[in-house]
Amino acid sequence: MAVKRDYYEVLGVGKQASPDELKRAFRKIAMESHPDRNPDDAMAHTRFKEASESSTPFSGADSAAVGAASAPTEATTFAST
């Protein structure tokens, strides 16, 4: 089994990176190494997969924030009568 690299290292950012910096770093790597742009480059395909895997945990934080923001509040919940 291959040793996994640190997600921040894969994306080339520091551990204090903001969500926007993480997103920007992933998009840059994705654009440079996307398999459609580099059909004959196995290393580019590997970099793309690694970056995609690295961005997954960070994208969950955004969805959790969206879910929490759209959750019903006391003012919008219905009381049973």
29, part of any domain: yes
* Residue 69 neighbours by CB distance under 10 Å: 7
Tokens of 26: 């992933």
Element (H, E) at 48: helix 42-69
Of residues 55 and 80, the one with the higher pLDDT is 55
The Cα–Cα gap between 45 and 43 comes to: 5
60, part of any domain: no
pLDDT, tens digit, 9 for 90 and up, residues 14-70: 989 898 999 999 999 999 999 999 999 999 999 999 888 888 887 765 544 433 443
73, part of any domain: no
Number of domains in the chain: 1
- Domain coverage including residue 40: 18-53
59, part of any domain: no
Which band of pLDDT confidence, cut at 50, 70 and 90, is reported for residue 4?
confident
pLDDT score recorded for residue 1: 55
